[in-house]
Amino acid sequence: MIIITRPHVTDAEIDHIRERIEMLGLRTHLSRGEARTVIGCLGDEALLQEAALLSLPGVESVTPVMKPYKLAWREFAAGPTVVRVGDRGATSIGGRALAVIAGPCSVEGREMLRQTAVAVRDAGAGLLRGGAFKPRSSPYAFQGLGEAALRMLAEVRAETGLPVVTEVMDTRQVDKVAEHADVLQVGARNMQNFSLLSELGRVQRPVLLKRGLSATIQELLMAAEYIMAHGNRDVILCERGIRTYETATRNTLDVAAIPVLKAETHLPVLVDPSHAGGRASLVAPLSFAALAAGADGLVVEVHPDPAHALSDGDQSLTFSAFEQLMHGLRPFAAAAGRELAAPVSSLREAA
């Protein structure tokens, strides 16, 4: 059930409405927007029938929620969610400005991470990605540098100012990763690891939730609902390709998922073209498609020497290819009515 309040509703009226709902054993969630304020109800809605909510002062309308997800549902919030990260929340995901998260698949060493961070920042990326703990399909493949990589990410953030996004695989790692990272990523293989999702609900860090290889859009939204129901409202969704019968690409980018998600949820939606295509040559066209379909940003793998990368070399862009990609994105960003940070080189030229 969501309750839309009248314009100019008072705090006391809102308090009274919430108390009437909560005294029946339900919980409420308040979302204040410029145009309207929404009170969402969580719990057994059948109990609300006796609350006569429409007759309460300040109530404009009462609408039942017909979706299995509530907190993630678009109508539950007064407007789109903008997740703020980094020092003083200066970087935003979900606003008018597109969020570009770039960096190596795995952190392979301090120097390669530093070089990559500087290159992607100068090309206009707003956040640095880098895997410390890697969930690989093979137990014999490179598993990541672990805690050493977390420390490198924190050092490079201090040096470059780029907020850091890194994956957390296990409930036991959550506090350790939250200590070093600005955004905690849940990988596709862990999308339905409900104990991990619950744990991430308890930390005060934004979560980047990647869609599972075989997960439906509804399952992705229910995974987000898990995190939100445990207290963390800063969830960012990421479409990264789904498994189909096609073998020419690593996965199939579900472009339609972007507008479907934007219609269903107030949460930001990013696209990972690197994992979706599995080849560097596909990253640019899939990125263009993502922006055209309304994505709030991209997650792109970049490596100083993709041919010698310890993981995902085939799909990683070189520094110059990433710079070209950022340049190529401009007309698509403009057509979608979005802003893209200018590369440092053009700022220098302008100055």
Region near another protein per CB under 8 A, out of 20-28, 107-115, 132-140, 168-176: 20-28
Please list every residue from 230 through 259 that binds another protein, using CB under 8 A: 231
d(CA 220, CA 199): 17
Are 189 and 163 in contact by the 8 Å Cβ rule? The answer is no
Structure tokens at 311: 């993981």
Q: Minimum Å distance from CB 231 to another protein? A: 7
Residue 273, C-beta contacts closer than 8 angstroms, at least 6 positions apart: 253, 282, 283, 284, 286, 287, 290, 298, 300
CA atoms within 13 A on the CB side of 13: 19
Rounded (5°) CA angle 249-250-253:
75
- Residue matched to tokens 């990972």: 272
The only residue of 11, 34, 246, 349 in contact with another protein, by rule CB under 8 A: 11
Distances (CA, A) of 180 to 154, 268, 343: 6, 23, 26
Please list every residue from 311 through 330 that binds another protein, using CB under 8 A: none
Q: Minimum Å distance from CB 23 to another protein? A: 4
Q: Minimum Å distance from CB 47 to another protein? A: 10
Distances (CA, A) of 118 to 102, 127, 160, 200: 11, 11, 7, 30
Residue 12 or residue 335: which is nearer to another protein going by CB?
12
Region near another protein per CB under 8 A, out of 17-25, 99-107, 243-251, 264-272: 17-25
Residue 55 or residue 204: which is nearer to another protein going by CB?
204
> Mask: binding to another protein, 21-60, rule CB under 8 A, as x and -?
xxxxx-x--x------------------------------
The count of chain residues that interact with another protein, using the rule CB under 8 A, is 14
d(CA 288, CA 281): 13
DSSP secondary structure of 241-310: -B--S--SSSSB--TTHHHHHHHHBSS-EEE-HHHHH-SHHHHHHHHHHHHHTT-SEEEEEB-S-GGG-S
- Residue matched to tokens 């041919």: 307
Residue 21 or residue 150: which is nearer to another protein going by CB?
21
With b for 16 or more beta-carbon neighbours within 10 A and e for fewer, the 145-154 pattern comes to beeebbbbbb
Residue 16 or residue 74: which is nearer to another protein going by CB?
16
> Mask: binding to another protein, 268-307, rule CB under 8 A, as x and -?
----------------------------------------
Residue 81 or residue 193: which is nearer to another protein going by CB?
81
Q: Minimum Å distance from CB 208 to another protein? A: 23
The only residue of 10, 19, 44, 334 in contact with another protein, by rule CB under 8 A: 19
For position 18 contacting another protein by CB under 8 A, the verdict is yes
Residue 71 or residue 145: which is nearer to another protein going by CB?
71
Q: Which stretches of the chain bind another protein, using CB under 8 A?
A: 11, 15-16, 18-25, 27, 30, 231
